[in-house]
Amino acid sequence: MAVAEMIEAPTKIVMRTIASTTAVPYGTLMKLEDENTVVVSAANSDPFGGICTFEKLATDTDILKIPCAMDGVWDIDTTAAAITAGAIVSIGGANTVAVTTGTADQIVGSNVGQAEETRDTDNRVQVRLRG
């Protein structure tokens, strides 16, 4: 599972609650759950909770909040689907984005941002977060 790579530094960082034994690599796309809590994204249309800007180990049990970027520009892995420059993208699975499909992704809040380039042969795309 590859993680997002920062291209342009974020300026909007939010603190999110996370389970004490959860391991989260820097650059992981996060799923927003109840009460400002996040988990690692795992499925298509997960609500977007930001991109983790901190490396949290499972042994860091005293850390219960992590910083998550809500803006900036990131290189993010994609699903196999085509993405063109200008397309709005949403969480497409574990640490991946896909083209937003209809209002369902908007209703659940899974929109991540706008693709600033067409998906490359490495299945990565540059995305400006929606923040």
Number of domains observed in the structure of the chain: 2
- Is there a single domain that holds both residue 56 and residue 92? no
- Is there a single domain that holds both residue 52 and residue 15? yes
The range of the structural domain enclosing residue 98 comes to 73-129
What would the pLDDT profile of 81-131 be if each residue is shown by its tens digit? 889 999 999 999 999 999 998 777 777 888 999 999 998 777 899 999 987
SS3 for 1? Answer: coil
Spatial separation of the C-alpha atoms in residues 64 and 51, rounded to whole Å: 16
What would the pLDDT profile of 28-61 be if each residue is shown by its tens digit? 999 999 899 999 999 998 999 999 999 999 999 9
Spatial separation of the C-alpha atoms in residues 47 and 40, rounded to whole Å: 11
